Amino acid sequence: MGLMKDVTLTDSIEIRTTPETVFDFLVNLVDDEGYRAWHPEDHVALRWLKGKPWEEGSLVYAEEYIHGKLHKLKFVVTKIVPNSEIEYVPGSRFLRRYFPNNKFIIEPKEGTCVFTATGTYRIGWLARTFAKRRIERGLSSVRKHMKEEGENLKRLLEAKGSSHKKDMDTDTH
């Protein structure tokens, strides 16, 4: 048994929109208002501390509730592939040992797209052995948060697409 074990959480949802629309939504998360609109119950604040928003090397500060506790987080954007992928890691090199990879992946699928969020958590042997229930509760809370983000994204973008389609339909009449 190794000292550290990687656990990767993944949540995917199909959204009736284009990859460009999903990517555009994500890269336009540049302030508290947009961040809270994505997950009104849990997202609190979002600020860019270094670099331009959603540029490789940029540093972002976020506050959000997970398992009922406020978490104050810093992340570095490590990879941007337009309309396809955003990857980020904790701002602290120490924390990267335990949270080595997070990403959003957007894939086209027959007139829709699939949005996938992943997060990798590196859990030590001692925690897996002596804090198993606590670790599982924490991972369960993160799974729930990821699922809610995907569902909220779907609801926001499909409603936006629906209202845009209605506007176009009324313009032709």
Q: Report helix, strand or coil for 86.
A: strand
pTM for this entry: 0.89
Give per-residue burial for 37-71: e unless 16+ CB within 10 Å, then b.
Answer: ebbeebbeebebeeeeebeeebebebbbeeeeeee
Q: Which domain holds residue 17?
A: 4-171
The helix or strand, by DSSP H or E, that contains position 150, with its residue range, turns out to be: helix 132-171
Higher pLDDT, 163 or 154: 154
- Using one digit for the tens of pLDDT, what is the confidence trace for 72-115? 999 999 999 999 999 999 999 999 999 999 999 999 999 999 99
- Using one digit for the tens of pLDDT, what is the confidence trace for 105-142? 999 999 999 999 999 999 999 998 899 999 999 999 99
Quickly list H helices, 4-77: 19-27, 32-38
When divided into structural domains, the chain yields a total of 1
Q: How far apart are CA 134 and CA 73, in angstroms?
A: 20
CA neighbor of 67 nearest in space, from 115, 133, 123: 133
What are the backbone angles phi and psi of residue 42, rounded to the nearest 5°? -115, -30
The CATH number of residue 88's host domain is: 3.30.530.20
